[in-house]
Amino acid sequence: MQPNHSPRKHFSMIRGFHLADFLTLGNAACGTLSVFFAMNFMGSHRLSDFLLAATMAPAALLFDVLDGRVARWRQAQSVLGRELDSLADIVSFGVAPAALGYAAGLRGGWDIAVLVYFVCCGVSRLARYNVTAESLSAGAAKVAYFEGTPIPTSVVLSGVLAYCAWQGRVEATLWGGAWPIGPSELHPLSLLFALSGTLMISKTLRIPKL
């Protein structure tokens, strides 16, 4: 007797998504748009393109907050949702701010190394959170505290860069100027990315989760 296999439906993966998962995708969409607007700015040099890229950061943060609240409200938290949230976060709060920094003028050799370091710290921080979330929650519905700063705090970097752009201090006139160091140069502003990345991977810094 042949086993009865039910036919697979089209878009079966999407059909399994919860409302919170679609909000998480909104987060990822904002991060992707931020990268696109940053690239547009490098070609157009229009302030509006840069500000739109920076504005995507708080928009992504709004989606990030809402997806967690909706998941808890509907009691639809899942391993898939947690992984999806981390992947969206690395786009919106890791790659997008780094792209915005590059578009703003952080293009020296040392700047690029710092931006890569920042993104790698974000990836590492999210991976560690996913692995340790269960132990940190101690049986509760959510973790009691963050080890290191949460990656969405990088929205502050986007805000700083937006302020620089508003003041006309980007690219050749980037705030802080540039320091020639060895074979390349470093813009002091990139050190904010280095600080943010380092705080994210700290194991001794504990921040209560509200």
pLDDT at 78 over 80: no
Q: What is the pLDDT of residue 124?
A: 94
Tell me what the mean pLDDT of segment 198-210 comes to.
Answer: 82
pLDDT band at 3 (very low <50, low <70, confident <90, very high): low
| 21-25, 90-94, 190-194, 204-208: least confident range | 204-208
CATH fold for the domain made of 18-208 = Four Helix Bundle (Hemerythrin (Met), subunit A) (1.20.120)
154: enclosing H helix or E strand: none
Q: What is the pLDDT of residue 20?
A: 74
Its pTM stands at 0.85
Q: What is the pLDDT of residue 5?
A: 56
pLDDT band at 149 (very low <50, low <70, confident <90, very high): very high
Output the DSSP codes for 94-129. IIHHHHHHHHHT--SHHHHHHHHHHHHHHHHHHHHH
